[in-house]
Amino acid sequence: MSLRSLIAVSAGVIVFSLSGCANSPGRPRPDDIQINPADISDFDTLYKQNCAGCHGTDGKGGAAIALADPVYLAIADDAVLQQAATNGISGTAMPAFAESAGGMLTDKQIAILVNGIRVRWARPGVLHGANPPPYSSAAPGDPSRGADVYAAYCSSCHGAGGRGGAKASSIVNGSFLALLTDQELRTLVIIGRPELGAPDWRSNIPGKPMSSPEISDVVAWLASQRPKFPGQPFPSNTKPAGESR
Ligand code: HEC
Ligand code: HEC
C-alpha cells in the first residue's frame, strides 16, 4: 500500500469513528459537555462545589456553621454573606471566592449564592418578634465579667472553665480558638449550633435570653484564652530563619 493510500484509509477510519452513531461508546452526551466554570449560574451547583465542603450538604453544617439556619439568616444580612464569600475571613479557613480577591467566582455568581442562601433557607418571622442581639457589636467585651457570664450560662454543659462537660465539649482548646474570629464566636453564641444540639442566645437558660453586652463579655473571655502563637506551646524568642534584625 502506498503511503498516500494509507493516509487516505486512516483518514477514512478517523472520519468514520468521529461520525459514529449517537450512542457509540465514548461519545459525549449533551450533559457531559463541560460548561465554562464562570458560566455556572445554578445555585445548587455553585453551593455544592464551593461551600458544602465546610458548611455542609444543603447548608446543614459541618466543620463550619449551618448556613441553612433561619436564626442565623435573621441576624446576618446580605452584606455579611456577600462580604464573607467575596473576601473570605482572614486568619481562618474561610476562603476568598471573588476573582477580585484571587478566587474563582464572578461577582454575579457570588450574588447568586447570596440570593439563593436567603431565598432557600431564610424563614422570615422565625424569631416571632424576639429581639435578637445585633450581629456585631463595636463595644468591646470584658473578659473578667465574661468569666461570670460563662459560669452562669454555659458551664452547665461545657463544664468548669469551658474545659468540657457531660453535655458538650471543650471550647477553650487552643487549636479550636485559634481558627475562629471573635465575630464567629459571637455568631456561635447568638445562633448556637442547632444541628449539634447547641442552644441559641435565648435558651442556655430557658426564659432568660442573653443580652448583647453579656455576649460580648463571654466572647472576650473566650478570646482571652486564644493562644498567641498557635501550634507553638511556648512563645519563641528566636527570630524565624532568614529574618534579619
Ligand atoms: C444546653 C447545653 C449547652 C449550653 C448551655 C451551651 N452550649 Fe455550647 N454547645 C453545646 C453543644 C451540644 C455543642 C456542640 C457539640 C459540642 O461541641 O460538644 C456546643 C458547641 C459550642 C461551641 C462550638 C461550636 C463549634 O463550631 O464547634 C461553642 C463556641 C459554644 N458551644 C459556646 C457556648 C457558650 C459561650 C455558651 C454559653 C453562653 C454555651 N455554648 C452554652 C451545648 C451547650
Ligand atoms: C474550607 C472551609 C470553608 C469553605 C469552603 C467555605 N467556608 Fe464559609 N466559613 C468557614 C469558616 C471556618 C468560617 C468562620 C470564619 C471565622 O472564624 O470568622 C466561615 C464563615 C462564613 C460566613 C460568616 C459566618 C458568620 O459568622 O457570619 C459566611 C456567610 C460563609 N462562611 C459563607 C460561605 C459561602 C457562601 C461559601 C461558599 C461560597 C463558604 N462559606 C465556603 C469555612 C468555609
73 and 118 Cβ atoms separated by less than 8 Å = yes
CA of 238 relative to ligand 2 center, distance in Å: 34
Best residue for ligand 1 mutational test, from 67, 149, 171 (most atoms within 8 Å of Cβ): 171
Q: What is the model's pLDDT at position 26?
A: 77
Q: What is the model's pLDDT at position 35?
A: 84
Residue boundaries of the structural domains of the chain: 40-121, 143-223
Q: Determine the length of the chain.
A: 245
Best residue for ligand 2 mutational test, from 55, 113, 117, 188 (most atoms within 8 Å of Cβ): 55
Among the bound ligands, the one closest to the CA of 154: 1
Report the percent of the chain where pLDDT is more than 90.
Answer: 76
Grid cell digits, residue 112 = 447568586
Q: What is the model's pLDDT at position 34?
A: 79
Which residues, 6 or more positions from 201, have their beta carbon under 8 angstroms from its beta carbon?
Answer: 132, 133, 189, 190, 191, 192, 209, 210, 215
153 lines ligand 1 (CB under 6 A): yes
Question: Nearest-5° angle of CA 61, CA 213, CA 176?
Answer: 40
Q: What is the model's pLDDT at position 30?
A: 72
191 lines ligand 1 (CB under 6 A): no
113 lines ligand 2 (CB under 6 A): yes
Grid cell digits, residue 4 = 498516500
Ranges of the chain with pLDDT below 70 = 1-24, 230-245
Grid cell digits, residue 135 = 450581629
Question: Nearest-5° angle of CA 187, CA 151, CA 67?
Answer: 15
Other Cβ atoms less than 10 A from the Cβ of 204: the count is 21
Q: What is the model's pLDDT at position 228?
A: 81
CA of 155 relative to ligand 2 center, distance in Å: 27
Residues 232, 238: Cα–Cα separation, whole Å: 13
* CA 110 to ligand 2: nearest atom: 38
Residues 31, 23: Cα–Cα separation, whole Å: 14
Q: What is the model's pLDDT at position 16?
A: 46
CA-to-CA separations, 5 to 15, 103, 202, in angstroms, rounded: 15, 52, 84
85 and 98 Cβ atoms separated by less than 8 Å = yes
Q: What is the model's pLDDT at position 9?
A: 53
Could you tell me which CATH number the domain at 143-223 has? 1.10.760.10
CA of 170 relative to ligand 1 center, distance in Å: 9
> 40-121: what fold?
Cytochrome Bc1 Complex; Chain D, domain 2 (1.10.760)
- Distance from the Cα of residue 122 to its chain's centroid: 16
168 lines ligand 1 (CB under 6 A): yes
Name the residue among 32, 77, 67, 72 with its Cα closest to residue 46. 67
Identical topology for domains 40-121 and 143-223: yes
Q: What is the model's pLDDT at position 229?
A: 75
Q: What is the model's pLDDT at position 84?
A: 98
Q: What is the model's pLDDT at position 22?
A: 53
- What does the pLDDT look like over 136-180, one tens digit per residue? 999 999 999 999 999 999 999 999 999 999 999 999 999 999 999
Burial status of residue 80 (CB atoms within 10 A of its CB: 0-12, 13-18, 19 or more): middle
219 lines ligand 1 (CB under 6 A): no
Q: What is the model's pLDDT at position 233?
A: 56
Q: What is the model's pLDDT at position 242?
A: 47
Best residue for ligand 2 mutational test, from 44, 45, 47, 54 (most atoms within 8 Å of Cβ): 54
Residues 73, 205: Cα–Cα separation, whole Å: 23
